[in-house]
Amino acid sequence: MRVISISTLRDYWEVHPETRIALSEWYVKVCDADWKSFADIRQDFNAVDYVGNQRYVFNIKGNHFRLVVAIKFTPQVVYIRFVGTHAEYDRIDVSTI
């Protein structure tokens, strides 16, 4: 998969250094993936939910942070839409990001 864009993750882990390892590991695993469906994602990540509109929510660092991505399976692209705490996630409308 091709992840757009790693800079979003870097910007976040520079402000929240406790997320660096978890987000880096997520990034490496996704770049090595060849997902064709949600079932493929679930094989790599247990803590992921489909929330509609091609959006998936990953629990990061022991469920302390959330990462929302849009996944386009055919071109093999993952777009990072949001990374933040659960409290920050609760304040957003996932369908609009």
Measure CA of the first residue to CA of the last residue in the chain; give whole Å.
20
Asked whether residue 76 is domain-assigned, the answer is yes
Closest C-alpha among 79, 28, 27, 69 to residue 48: 69
Asked whether residue 26 is domain-assigned, the answer is yes
Specify the pTM.
Answer: 0.91
Asked whether residue 64 is domain-assigned, the answer is yes
Residue 95 scores a pLDDT above 80 = no
Asked whether residue 96 is domain-assigned, the answer is no
Domain hosting 47: range is 2-91
Q: Could you read off the pLDDT of 60-85 as tens digits, one per residue? A: 988 889 999 999 999 999 999 999 98
Residue 91 scores a pLDDT above 90 = no
Residue 32 scores a pLDDT above 80 = yes
Q: How many domains does the chain have?
A: 1
